[in-house]
Amino acid sequence: MGTGICMVDLKGQYLKIKDEVDAGIRNVLETSSFINGPAVRKFRDDLGKYLGGTNVITCANGTDALQIALMALGLKPGDEVIVPAFTYVSSAEVIGLLGLVPVMVDVDPDTFNVTADNISKALTPATRAIIPVHLFGQSCDMEPILEFAGRHGLHVIEDNAQAIGAEYTFSDGRKAKTGTMGTIGCTSFFPSKNLGCYGDGGAVFCSDGSLAEKISMIANHGQKIKYHHSVIGCNSRLDTIQAAVLEAKLPHLDEYSHARREAADYYDMRLREMDPSGKHYRLPARQKNSTHVWHQYTLKITEGKRDGLKAFLEKLGIPSMIYYPLPLQDQEAFKGIARAAEDLSNARECASSVLSLPMHTELTHEIQDVVIDGIRQFFRL
């Protein structure tokens, strides 16, 4: 049965800003500045302003952004980097790639995010950095994480691939965009991200000017002056066409976040009405001191019925996704190179129960009603 429902409606979003996107791409084609053209520099500067004045270094993708960030910190093989066990592989993959030790810790069972308490249990003399991942669209509780890192001299690399535009409020009332609070922030511009291009892309954020310069050099073969290579680097660039797409989308980012929040509020209202006791599913929790930009709307399905619900919705032509079905500590790739905290029960429970519903800027209540009715049918509510 075909419903036409998408997990992410990129075409619908494109059609609303078609003239802006097409004009940007056409300008790149006409000028033929395909690498590091004016659109790259303009997007980089405009994104930095949006984030509150931080330095932005664009690169080829979000995984490269994380790798470049770790390379810039001068870590040595055997140094430990703490990372949540419930997240996408790239956050830990780059740690292992550089000969560092991924140390996987548990997450909060409600927000799905790593906490200072989780992190503190994994500290050893070899710990050098923490990668908090702002999962599904809201910030980790960063104030205690930053305080812990400061006490122990640890770097904090924020993985902001799913939460760009979210804002965190400190206890003194100060506000900051996710990705700008730690030593370095990283993001992805994969097409399905809240700010996505039409191919691959990524960026690194850093308020420290000298560190930002080093990051920029690493992303460009370790050179500041052409053919003069000061450090070992890599070749990681955001091409100009993708920058033109992102430049067209950036002014709409807050509008996109607002649309996602409205969709999440409607899901909350209808799903809560349908199962007020939470017998069959638990609604997404909202971090009290963070806004939520809803990269994903993720339920926790109880009674071991997650996979059955997903299969039932699929038969109705309703898409859903499981992020992430196997926690990092159970991944074959990390056996022998990673260390895991003793208790990772929350990560394992999340992996076996989460289900993400369609979430994007073009969702209508009519589309959501079809999704919600599918859930109602499965649980016979």
pLDDT of residue 342: 82
Give the three-class secondary structure for 380.
Answer: coil
Classify residue 307 by its DSSP letter: H
**Residue 280 vs residues 18, 218, 301, 304, 309: alpha-carbon distances, Å:** 41, 49, 6, 10, 11
Contact present, 166 and 139 (Cβ < 8 Å): yes
Phi–psi pair at 143, nearest 5 degrees? -60, -50
Q: How far apart are the first and last CA of the chain?
A: 22
Give the pLDDT of residue 2.
59
Angle at 294 between CA 323 and CA 10, to 5 degrees: 85
List Cα–Cα distances, 56 to 40, 71, 226, 255, 309, in angstroms.
Answer: 11, 16, 20, 22, 42
Amino acid at site 115: T
Q: Which two tokens stand for residue 53?
A: 């004045």
Does the predicted model carry a pTM greater than 0.75?
yes
- Output the tens digit of pLDDT for each of the chain's 381 residues: 556 899 999 999 999 999 999 999 999 999 999 999 999 999 999 999 999 999 999 999 999 999 999 999 999 999 999 999 999 999 999 999 999 999 999 999 999 999 999 999 999 999 999 999 999 999 999 999 999 999 999 999 999 999 999 999 999 999 999 999 999 999 999 999 999 999 999 999 999 999 999 999 999 999 989 999 999 999 999 999 999 999 999 999 999 999 999 999 999 999 999 999 999 999 999 999 999 999 999 999 999 999 999 999 999 999 999 999 999 999 999 999 999 988 899 999 999 999 999 999 999 999 999 999 999 999 999
For 124: left if phi > 0, alpha if psi spans -120 to 50, otherwise beta; the answer is beta
